[in-house]
Amino acid sequence: MTETNNILLYQPGLTEYKKAWNLQKELFTTNFNIKTGKTNGDTSNHLFLLEHPHVYTLGNSGDKNNLLLSDEMLNKKKASFFKIERGGDITYHGPGQLVGYPVFDLDKLHLSIKEFVYNIEEMLIATVAQYGIVAERLEGATGVWLDPHHPQKARKIAAIGMKISKKISMHGFALNVNTNLDYFDYIIPCGLKNKGVTSIKKELGNEVPLNEITAVLRHAFEKVFGVKLILEEMNA
């Protein structure tokens, strides 16, 4: 495995959304500028695995009406809201959810955009499979689903929403582990009505330690992408 297959991994724990967003944008801009020949510097690929406090995010093409809370109600729920530059509609992040942000130069990994998204889905499917959960893709919808071919039972266990420009990626995926699913009641997730959400905890009937599922996901990520994750310390 060559050095170009090394991914720098950061696990800062519970992190405010704005801070994580700013870190991504800084790395994205650096890699983007290097790739377009505007500057010189490090083109390492980076992966963040973390949790957020309660937050709702809305993608570029999303509809604010899919957030069913007023600003006052957001405050009461101790949740924040951000409109961001990723694809997709509205989603929720919060404690007990494992969020991943790959800031990658896909050319360095010899991946097309389609292959990259496919690998993210495959990695998430392999992760939940370790707990006996059978997840699949749902045609015409993003994310990873359980019982996708049964309209009354279909439920999302992991969401995917990214920005990819000049084959540089940011934003990413969110896997519901021990997530408080009540917070999804206040949105129309990804703009899809009559589609449920679930978590590993709900499917198993018990909590799974987040550090345990993180280790499982890291292994699946390395196997699916053919890379080595190198754990790095976050600068204060």
Q: Give the ranges where the chain is alpha helix by DSSP (H).
A: 17-35, 71-76, 113-129, 200-204, 210-225
Per the annotation, the verdict on 65 as an active-site residue is: no
Q: Which residue is it, tokens 């992991």? A: 158
Q: Beta partners for 83? A: 58
**Which of 48, 69, 84 is closest to 161 using CA atoms?**
84
The whole-angstrom separation of Cα 70 and Cα 186 is 10
Which among 135, 190, 213, 220 is annotated as catalytic? 190
Q: Any idea how long the chain is?
A: 236
Angle, in degrees to the nearest 10, between helices 210-225 and 113-129: 140
3-class DSSP assignment, residue 112: coil
CA dist., res. 131 & res. 190, Å (int)? 26
Known catalytic residues are 190
